[in-house]
């Protein structure tokens, strides 16, 4: 097993500037308005659509959008616009400073990603941000079949990094995900701002 250190990053709210607690509600509300339905009718249609769990399955994105489009009686053009709007909201904008910093770490540490995700995220985020140029492995929940903070999410990432917990520093903006990492022995830091996160990484690498 390798003895090198690893920096393991979350994406949303860390490598991407996006409010994970707000964007989904705001996105659904935009499309409720487009549908012309009141909130109760909109929610009932979505609840009855039996949408696939795209956060822990692969290859289900087409079925998800087909079911949403049918439930809301959207035409093909509207459904394509809804999907595009979803990914724009989901991905936000790249945290260029932190991504560029991660790029500089290659001589001192491995850099990897562990992210809760939706089917299609790998392709959409790669197109926008080129994560594979900087991070390897990239561990997505929809491909691993499990979300953080479940312990199996972290254990699968450790296996792919070929690392022991003590070799890894995990960065996430959600306290529950930080706690999940610490529960399996991974040192973890909650991301609040770039300067604090970079300082924590530098300290970890110097230890």
H helices within the chain, ranges in order?
23-35, 39-47, 61-72, 76-91, 96-103, 121-129, 141-144, 151-161, 175-183, 194-206
Residue 178 has pLDDT above 80, yes or no: yes
Q: Report yes or no on whether pTM surpasses 0.85.
A: yes
Residue 20 to residue 8: CA distance in whole angstroms:
19
What value does the mean pLDDT take over residues 191-203?
Answer: 98
Q: What digits encode the pLDDT tens for the residues 161-176?
A: 999 999 999 999 999 9
Backbone angles phi, psi at 79, to 5 degrees: -65, -40
Q: Give 73's pLDDT tier (boundaries 50, 70, 90).
A: very high
Residue 177 has pLDDT above 80, yes or no: yes
What value does the mean pLDDT take over residues 188-194?
Answer: 98
Beta-carbon contacts of 106 under 8 Å, excluding residues fewer than 6 positions away, are none
Residue 1 has pLDDT above 70, yes or no: no
State the number of CA atoms in the 13 A half-sphere of 180 facing the CB: 22
Residue 21 has pLDDT above 90, yes or no: no
- Please, is 21 exposed, middle or buried when counting C-beta atoms within 10 Å of its C-beta (0-12, 13-18, 19+)? exposed
Average pLDDT, the chain: 96
Per-residue pLDDT at 2 = 63
- At residue 189, the 3 state secondary structure works out as strand
Q: What digits encode the pLDDT tens for the residues 76-114?
A: 999 999 999 999 999 999 999 999 999 999 999 999 999
Q: Give 3's pLDDT tier (boundaries 50, 70, 90).
A: confident
Q: What digits encode the pLDDT tens for the residues 26-53?
A: 999 999 999 999 999 999 999 999 999 9
Q: Are 131 and 113 in contact (CB under 8 A)?
A: yes
Residue 49 to residue 64: CA distance in whole angstroms:
9
To which residue do tokens 């973890």 refer? Answer: 188
State the greatest distance between any 2 C-alpha atoms of the chain, in Å, as a whole number.
58
Pick the more confident residue, 19 or 86.
Answer: 86
Per-residue pLDDT at 6 = 98
């Amino acid at each position: 097993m390798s003895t090198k250190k690893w920096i393991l990053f979350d994406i949303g709210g860390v490598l991407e500037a996006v409010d994970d607690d707000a964007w989904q509600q705001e996105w659904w509300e935009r499309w409720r308005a487009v549908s012309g339905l009141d909130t109760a009718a909109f929610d009932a249609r979505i609840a009855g659509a039996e949408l696939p769990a795209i956060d822990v399955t692969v290859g289900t994105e087409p079925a998800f959008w087909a079911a949403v489009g049918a439930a809301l009686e959207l035409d093909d053009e509207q459904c394509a616009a809804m999907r595009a709007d979803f990914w724009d909201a989901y991905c936000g904008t790249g945290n260029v400073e932190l991504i560029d910093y991660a790029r500089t770490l290659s001589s001192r540490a491995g850099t990897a990603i562990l992210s809760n995700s939706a089917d299609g995220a790998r392709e959409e985020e790669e197109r926008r941000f080129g994560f594979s140029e900087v991070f390897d492995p990239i561990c997505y929940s929809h491909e691993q079949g499990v979300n953080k903070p479940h312990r199996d999410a972290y254990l699968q990432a450790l296996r792919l990094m070929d690392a022991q917990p003590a070799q890894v520093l995990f960065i996430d903006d959600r306290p529950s995900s930080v706690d999940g990492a610490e529960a399996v022995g991974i040192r973890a830091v909650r991301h609040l701002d770039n300067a604090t996160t970079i300082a924590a990484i530098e300290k970890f690498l110097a230890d």
